[in-house]
Structures are given as C-alpha cells and as structure tokens.
Structure 1
C-alpha cells in the first residue's frame, strides 16, 4: 500500500516539471490525491488535482501489470471533480488499435496515447473500443469482444459483430443474424436473414415467408418482434417514425409501435428526413417532396432526389447514362444547378462539389471543390476527396498528401500532413492516419507516436524489409526485400525477382490511369531455410463492378536463393498431378464446405498449379472464377503431408529446406 509521501512523489514524477499538486478542499495539509477504483474494473487508479501555468488539471493514472499509464489528463475547466471522474470510464478507453508486421503475419494490439502497447498485438484484426469499453477483435477469421484489460467478453465465434447501438450489437454467422447484449448474451429468440442496428429502441429485421418473399419487421431491445414482418420495404426509425412499403403504390408512415400515422398512394416514397420525404407519383415519373401529412411541398421535377440534410437535398439528372448533380433547399429553390459530376453534403453547412477528371468518364474519379450550402465556393476543384466535417475540420486529399482543412478550405498546417492518399481522424488525444494502406498515430502537436514497422525480423540472421513504390496516385505497391543471405549476388537476384513478382514496373507519374493497382505482402511461413511470402494484389478497372485480386506465394530457399515450384516437392515420375487432382476431386464431391464449386468445372490441377506450404500441409488453390464464383475468392484445398508421403521427395532440396 502506498504511504502518503511515496504516493505524492510518484504522482509528481508524472506531472510537468513546474506543476504543483493542489491541497484537498477539506484540509490544507492534505494533498488532493485519491486511490480508488474509479472505473469499476477491480483495479485501483490514482487520481490527483494539480495546477500548471495558472490552470487546474486532473490526472488519473492506471496500472497495467508493472506499468502505469495516463488514463486521463485534462483541464478541469471549472467542472467539479465528481463530474470529471464520472466521465473517466469513457476517458479510460484511450486505447487504439495498432498493427505489427511479424513472421506470423500482421498482428493487432492496442496502444495508449503515448504509442505504447497496453494490449499486446496478438489478434488478426482489431477495431476501435466503443463507449461501453468493448472492442471487436478477430482470431482465425472469427470475431469476438474484449474489454479494456484484453479479456474476452465474447470468445471469437461469429463471422462478424457490428457496432453496439443502444446497448445491443448484431452478430451473424453461417446460420443467420442474432442480437447480443453487452455481456454477450443472445437476446433474440430465433435466427433472422437480416437485422439492422438499433435506432429508437427498434431494430429492422427481415425473414422469408412461405412463398419466398422477403418481409420486414422490427425488434425491441429485448429481442421481441414488436412489429411483425409484414412490410415489403422498411427503414430505420428516426424520432419515433419511419416509412414502410405495404404493397405497390401504398406506403405508410408508422409510429414506434407500428401504428399508421399516414398513408401515401404513390409509386415511391423515400426516407423521412427533416420532416420531408422524396416521392414519385408514377413509374418513370419525376421526383418531388412531401411532408408527413402528405402535402406536396416541392412539386415533382427532378429525375432523382436524395434525403434532406442540413436543410438541403442533392438532386440529379441522367442523360446517356451520365449523372449530373445539384442542390436544392426546403422550398425547392436551386442552390447549385445539376451541372456537376458528384456532390456530397459534408455537415457544418459545407458541400463537396465534384467534377470528373475525364469529362466523359466520371467513373474514373473526381476533383472536388469546397462550397457552402448557400452556393458560395471556397476553393477551386483541387481535392481528390473530402470527408465529413467535425469540429470545424475535415480530412482531405490531393494527388500527393492527406491533411485537414478548415471550413474555408484552408489546410490546417499545425496538424499532420501525411504523404499519400487516405484519411485522418481525431480520436480523443490522438490523430489516426490511415494513408496508403498503413496506420500511423500522431499526438495533437503532430508528433508521430506510433507507425507500422517496416522491418520483419525472421531470426538473428534474416529479415524482410518493406519497400514502397508509388509512381502514381492510383498505383501503390509494398514489396519485400530480404536481408541476411550470405552471398550478396544471390540476395540481389532474389530481391530482383521479388520486385518483378510484386509488379514493380514503370508507370507514368502524372497521367490518369485507366485502372488502379494496389499490392502488398506478408510472411506466410518461415522454417529453417525456407521463407514463404504472400504477394497479393488488387487490379481495379475504373467503372467495373469489382476488381480482380491476385495472390502469389514465392517459396524461397534462403541459402541457395532458389524459388521452388510445386514439382520440386515430389519424386520424379511420381504422377503428383494425378494424385493431387484425385484427392481434390474427392474433397469437392464429399466435403460440404466445397459445395460452392461450379458443377463440372473442376478438371484437375496443372503441373504448375498455385500452392503454398506450412510445416505440416500442402495447400493447393485456384484463381477467382476458375472453378467457383468470384465471391468464393481463392478456393483452397488443404492436403496434409502425411497423406501423400509416398510421393514426396524427402531427399529433395525443397523438402530439406524446411525439414
């Protein structure tokens, strides 16, 4: 247990040099220091009031094993200590997900506002802590929930866990959708085809009736079907009301218990937003707006219309499949004529107005100008992207950097300016940059407190170095280079090959490309002399429905520099192609997990079939669309070595490199 003098000395060591701990209000001789469990997690915290540079502050220190870190350090701003400590539980969630690249792939943990790991990187993925002190983490492709001590509240068992809303989270797996509370208890009585987030103590759900029709209803916070599934379409509640579709040309505005507030006999009625709903009288007709009483407020005159936000709605025209966007007010007055190629309402009375980079190909991207909702432009068309405004700032990008702008479109030079394309977000005491596929954290002064490592040690001799190649805003590759190979000529040859396989090639820097490409890598397996890397890529032709992923696994002997092929694993004349083809064919026929494979599409493997290995298994995989739908990704078949030992060349260089 602390004695008073040791405690005060310890706190003083955590404060600025000239800070003074204040006296307790009940005794001049007693310092304003307390040791108690403020956030009800069973661990004592230390709190103290102090004065620095003529202003009063409160600091709360939290223990994590042998390490103390600052849980809260803020000006009191005239607030009572009781009020401040009441908010400590939320402030205690100053933990931020951060990745580390390792020999076992990328692992995620949580850092504090100094960049120190408080929860060690051991998860395959991790997301922000929510206000309730819970964070979603992924382990072996399954999601669970942890608390701020890193303990599982829900073990990893779901395919996905959505954000909590009103004390409830939607989870789903291959069986369907459910709702859990903050203890992880499932509160729904059955499975659903879909459940949305809770709004106004209601969650939209859908199921299929006996005729195969999808119908929508609503759950309450106890998981009861408070409004039965009977609507063809429905939306989330807002301010106790929502719009539902009963049947063709019949929509209703309903209340929180399903009571009908009004009926609208139109072809289409949109979401209720700011008291107005977009509507269309007849199919192929123009769009206007009605109010909750059904009164036409803005006559149908637009080819399409979005919801009102901040007293404004985006409208658009369509001509030869080219969309043009404009902006109107609540009276239907046109603020911006529909002359622009894109438009986004950003909040705080600001709008991003976009022009196509290539006029007749808007799908290739836009340049945005910042304007206000009254039609005033603050900048030219200079931004590649602008996020929503929050607290007077928005994240924005141009061809070179990512940065904050203020409401006049001026770059906030005192905040971080990061080379590359992405976004910046202020979260509590830190600024997170997700730029060029990498995570960096800054403090408010713009100092880096955490950045992803670019060196992956394999052992005391070998390491993999991350190199970056970005000749064009739409072409980004991270590629591996190996250090530690004994003979430099061998190392240079290996690294040249890795650059080629990673698609590091000449790309014109200042032209608009027809497609974007991103490439990255990870360590898949390392043992003895064998290094297996995964080189993945994504090629997206602008305007396409989706891009095409690619995946290559170089198997590198770190002694000889040899890149092994599938045939190198097997004995000569072993008929490995037929043996493996038969094994995979049987798996497709008998294992339900491969039911997605196209009927009669599998014809066996090729001699140079894509593959990778680990210590115990051979993995054979196929490209998207090759034998299965795009959504199936890379169909992969795991074949244990002990089932094919009779054809493996155990005296071969490949096998010996990792055995």
Structure 2
C-alpha cells in the first residue's frame, strides 16, 4: 500500500511480535518497533507504540499525531474510532486528537463517504445503524447487519431465520444519505458497487443491480448463488463454485470444462444437483460404456454415492449445508478411480465434517471393486496390511500426529484407492488423529505386497 508493506519480527527478549515496513524493493525502511501497525492510506498509517499509546505516522516514520487511549482504530476520512476507557464504549477522534463524537457505541467501523456503521447492542449482540460525521443516525441502530456498498448505497440485513442468525441474512438496498429503502426485493448476497452496478444474488439467480436497487439492464443473469465482477471488457462469474466469463452483451465466452476426456469412447461429464440454497453437489456421469444397462447401473450408483438425490427440494429442509464435488483420481486400461468429496456443515457448529470416497469402476463390466478384490483368497491381507501401516505409524516421523493407542489395525473394507505404483489406505478425520490432520493416508507400494495380490484376478487385470 502506497509503497510500503507491513512485516513482523519476533522480539528476542519478550517473544512479542513487533511490526515495521519494507519498500517495494523489499528493503526495510521502518524497523520493527511497533506493537501493532496498519497499512498506509492517504499518506498515513496508524501504529501502536505501546499499551495506551497510538500514533499516526508518515511513510518515513515521522510521528504526525499521538493518541493516548486504550484503543484507537485506523483513520477513515479524518476520523478515528477510539475507546476512552479500557473495554469502554467507542467514539471518534479528529486527526488532531480532539473528540469528534463522544463514546457511545459498542463497536464503530471506519468512516467512508461521510458515514460509518456503528453498533449499539450490548454483550456482542447486533444492533447496527449508520451515522454521519456529526454522530447523527441516518439508519437507526436496530439491524442485524448494515453494509456500506459504496456509491452512496448500503445494504440492510436481517436474519433469514431469526432463531438461527448464523444461517445468513436477507438484504434490502437503501440510500446511504437518507436511509430510505430503495428496493424491497429480498437479496441473499450483496457486493460493493462498481461503475454503478453491484453484484447480488437472490433465492434463484446471480445478477447486477443498479443504483436504484433494482435489477440492472446489464446482463448476464445466471442461475445459482455467487458473484459477478467487471473485469476489463469482460464479466467474471463465480457462481455455485464454478467460474465462467461473459462479454458485456451477456454472451458466455469461456467456462470451466465440464467434461473430462479419458480415452475414446470414455469421458466423465459433470452434472449439478442443487435442490435448495444449502445443498450443492457436482456429481460424475460416465459416458461411453457400451452396455446401456451397465451404464445406467454405474451412473445410478455414482449419483447415490455422491449424495445427489433425496434431499428436499421445497425450500430449505435440512439443519445442515452440504457441498459435494468430484475429480478423476486414476485411469488406466479399464479401471477408473474417482474421488468423491463432501463437506457437511451442521448449522451453528464450530466446523463441518469432510468426507472422501474412491469408487473403483471397471468400465467394461461396470463392477465396483472392494479392497478384498485385489488380494488372493485366504491371503490374510487384513492382518498383513495392518502390520505394514502399524510400522509406518511407529517409524515414520510424518505420522507423529496419530493419537497414541488409537490405531487397532485396518478393516476388511478399509477405505482405499490405487494408482499405478501403490495401494493407499486412509482413515477419516478423528478416527486415529486430530481433525486438523485431515485423512491420514498410508502408501504401500505393490512391490511390498506382491505375494498377497491376485495378479490373475479381475481387479488387478483391469489396470495392469
């Protein structure tokens, strides 16, 4: 920002991080002496000198003003949010340190276009409004959200589900100068204005609105939820987790490939299943299978495994959100291995749970292979593979994250996938390791287990 970039260094004596600035060549121009610091804007940056002391500096580090308060925020149009007492209410200072608006808010955001969003709710509640530079309310402080969108417009948000506000808001567009609501059409997502247009989405489509708050004449209108961005002469669309580009007349000029060619006659085609706003799955359809019956059976099973069915379509009907996607993990001879990923997020939870499965499909016969199909009958593969994985956990430092005493061996239907060189066995999050470890995966080269593998069997022969 303005020829300066923030960096931090750990203080060798106290172990505390201190901040400084480098120039565009990476040369240190202001040493790491600040307890906290912000980016430069309009030739100044706010830094924290020590507890209870903040300063406004120029790009050479000269102190322009000092502020002795428990908290001071970055300047916005010559006003800085501040607290006069520790954990007290927020007000605003002038750049010279004089009080512009007395402390009276439970949070106060920087000024933009002569206005600022403030909160008056106690105990981390939401009662947001919009004030002018005299502290006068333009929009009363009673809303769950107020977002400044630029170009004199704001979005006022109220929870879609009042008892579950974390599930998202519905927005209306208002005039930032008067507070008057311009359009009552419910929007579920809003972005800042650019060239008189703002990208929004409702329950059905993603499109532009103009400054009147109504649907703009500017195409495109795309089914799904996402964002449109003006990008030179083009418009970039990121909708339902897929990217495409349109010209200014609304004609699509590029989109992400929805077909993965394997080898003639086989390909994998992407299909979308979105019965409601909280459920989105991209699932694979394999094309080119000779038998129509086998093709139907394979693709019905893939759709089921992808969880792309049986979710209510009459509005939001579940207490979680779900996203599913897929990729081609491995393809050789007649064997196609797909990776089907999912992420289920119960509303209000700290985090969701990811899932991952690998269907192994013989494209000639339509058979889905299980782990046991790779091995000779009576080979005691479970016991032998369990020992190999146990040794890797014991001896390989990369598996030091595995919980002590949780690994009890693999199961006969252990989740797995193959490639040309090795068998991979994996575990779900929390099964033998912390959530942050993801899916602990163990690679077993075929050379290590050739005595167990049924080399004449259909599974092995399908890709070797």
Shorter-chain TM band = over 0.9
Query: Which whole-Å CA distance do the structure 2 matches of 1:288 and 1:644 have between them?
Result: 70
Query: Which whole-Å CA distance do the structure 2 matches of 1:286 and 1:481 have between them?
Result: 58
Q: Deviations over 1:262-286 (max 9, x none)?
A: 2222111111221111111223311
Shift of 1:534: 0.9
1:594 corresponds to which residue? 399
Query: In the alignment, does 2:244 pair up with 1:440?
Result: yes
Shift of 1:560: 2.1
Q: Deviations over 1:92-121 (max 9, x none)?
A: xxxxxxxxxxxxxxxxxxxxxxxxxxxxxx
Query: In the alignment, does 2:344 pair up with 1:539?
Result: yes
The farther-off stretch of 451-460 and 434-443 is 451-460
2:145 corresponds to which residue? 342
Q: Which structure 2 segments of 5+ residues have no match?
A: none
Q: 1:221–1:453: structure 2 CA closer, same or farther, 3 Å change rule?
A: closer
Query: In the alignment, does 2:458 pair up with 1:653?
Result: yes
Query: Which whole-Å CA distance do the structure 2 matches of 1:342 and 1:657 have between them?
Result: 57
The farther-off stretch of 275-284 and 317-326 is 317-326
Q: How does 1:281-296 map to 2 (within 5 A)?
A: 281-296=84-99
Query: Which whole-Å CA distance do the structure 2 matches of 1:577 and 1:341 have between them?
Result: 55
Query: Which whole-Å CA distance do the structure 2 matches of 1:485 and 1:502 have between them?
Result: 19
Q: Deviations over 1:286-317 (max 9, x none)?
A: 10011221111110000111111111111113
- Structure 2 SS opposite 1:540: strand
Q: 1:313–1:643: structure 2 CA closer, same or farther, 3 Å change rule?
A: same
Query: Which whole-Å CA distance do the structure 2 matches of 1:392 and 1:373 have between them?
Result: 15
Which of 273, 281, 306 is equivalent to 2:109? 306
Query: Which whole-Å CA distance do the structure 1 matches of 2:183 and 2:21 have between them?
Result: 45
Which of 197, 210, 213 is equivalent to 1:406? 210
Shift of 1:321: 4.9
2:2 corresponds to which residue? 200
1:553 corresponds to which residue? 358
Shift of 1:228: 2.0
Checking the alignment, whether the CA contact within 8 Å between 1:354 and 1:381 is kept in structure 2 is no
1:236 corresponds to which residue? 39
Which of 279, 303, 307 is equivalent to 1:475? 279
Which of 30, 37, 40 is equivalent to 1:227? 30
Q: 1:213–1:588: structure 2 CA closer, same or farther, 3 Å change rule?
A: farther
- Structure 1 SS opposite 2:388: helix
Please report the TM-score for the alignment, with normalisation by the length of structure 2.
0.94
Query: Which whole-Å CA distance do the structure 2 matches of 1:388 and 1:362 have between them?
Result: 22
Q: 1:604–1:228: structure 2 CA closer, same or farther, 3 Å change rule?
A: farther
Shift of 1:488: 2.4
- Structure 1 SS opposite 2:3: coil
- Structure 2 SS opposite 1:308: coil
Checking the alignment, whether the CA contact within 8 Å between 2:106 and 2:122 is kept in structure 1 is no
Q: 1:213–1:606: structure 2 CA closer, same or farther, 3 Å change rule?
A: farther
- Structure 2 SS opposite 1:318: coil
Query: Which whole-Å CA distance do the structure 2 matches of 1:608 and 1:283 have between them?
Result: 59
Checking the alignment, whether the CA contact within 8 Å between 2:208 and 2:218 is kept in structure 1 is no
1:275 corresponds to which residue? 78
Checking the alignment, whether the CA contact within 8 Å between 1:357 and 1:367 is kept in structure 2 is yes
Q: How does 1:384-399 map to 2 (within 5 A)?
A: 384-399=188-203
Checking the alignment, whether the CA contact within 8 Å between 1:618 and 1:639 is kept in structure 2 is yes
Query: Which whole-Å CA distance do the structure 2 matches of 1:638 and 1:471 have between them?
Result: 38
Q: 1:625–1:282: structure 2 CA closer, same or farther, 3 Å change rule?
A: farther
Query: Which whole-Å CA distance do the structure 1 matches of 2:377 and 2:351 have between them?
Result: 42
Shift of 1:608: 2.0
1:106 corresponds to which residue? none
Q: How does 1:417-428 map to 2 (within 5 A)?
A: 417-428=221-232
Query: In the alignment, does 2:418 pair up with 1:613?
Result: yes
Q: How does 1:51-450 map to 2 (within 5 A)?
A: 199-210=1-12, 211-319=14-122, 321-374=124-177, 375-450=179-254
Shift of 1:381: 5.0
Query: Which whole-Å CA distance do the structure 2 matches of 1:259 and 1:584 have between them?
Result: 61
Q: 1:324–1:413: structure 2 CA closer, same or farther, 3 Å change rule?
A: same
Please report the TM-score for the alignment, with normalisation by the length of structure 1.
0.67
Shift of 1:651: 1.7
Shift of 1:550: 1.4
Q: Deviations over 1:355-392 (max 9, x none)?
A: 11111321111111011212121111511111111000
- Structure 1 SS opposite 2:293: helix
- Structure 1 SS opposite 2:192: coil
The farther-off stretch of 586-595 and 217-226 is 586-595
Q: Deviations over 1:207-236 (max 9, x none)?
A: 222332222122223323322222222111
Query: Which whole-Å CA distance do the structure 2 matches of 1:472 and 1:617 have between them?
Result: 40
Shift of 1:525: 1.0
Checking the alignment, whether the CA contact within 8 Å between 2:244 and 2:252 is kept in structure 1 is yes
- Structure 2 SS opposite 1:380: strand
CA RMSD of aligned residues (A): 2.0
